[in-house]
Amino acid sequence: MGVMSDLRDAAERAVAAAAAVLDEANREILDVPAPLHLTTSGRLVAATAAEPGEAPRKVTGRLQVHANRYQVEPGVWFVGVFGVLYARILELEMNHKFISVTLSQQRPAIEAAVQQAAREGLG
């Protein structure tokens, strides 16, 4: 294999490692259990709401179950919560950040994963 091919492979592994770190962190931050309360209509809701700026409370676990990462093409990954419409609403409109906060909090771990994968790929 040529040098360019080795570099491309190392970069793809580094991006995949970063996506894995962010995906795992998303799952962890979405695992904040809430004391549950049964409404008069029979719905389970969080007895204590998350404060603005905090991750949403875990009631059903649906956000965590739908947290995932997908490789779109070599070197390009989507990381987030897929298939749950209200995830976007929580993140962008209701100020219950989880993905953007996780990304900023996990930046050192993501950078370390990228550096490690790059070192191993070019070793």
For the chain, how many structural domains are there in total? 1
Token pair of 17 as six digits: 């490692």
Q: Give the per-residue pLDDT at 98.
A: 77
Say how far apart CA 99 and CA 64 lie, in whole Å: 12
Q: Give the per-residue pLDDT at 71.
A: 94
DSSP 22-44: HHHHHHHHT--B--EEE-TTS-E
End-to-end CA distance of the chain: 14
3-state DSSP assignment of residue 73: strand
Can you give the pLDDT of all 123 residues of the chain as single tens digits? Answer: 577 888 888 889 889 999 999 999 888 888 877 788 888 888 878 777 777 767 777 778 888 889 999 999 988 999 988 988 888 888 888 777 778 888 888 899 989 988 888 788 766
Range of the domain at 83: 3-122
What does pTM read for this prediction? 0.77
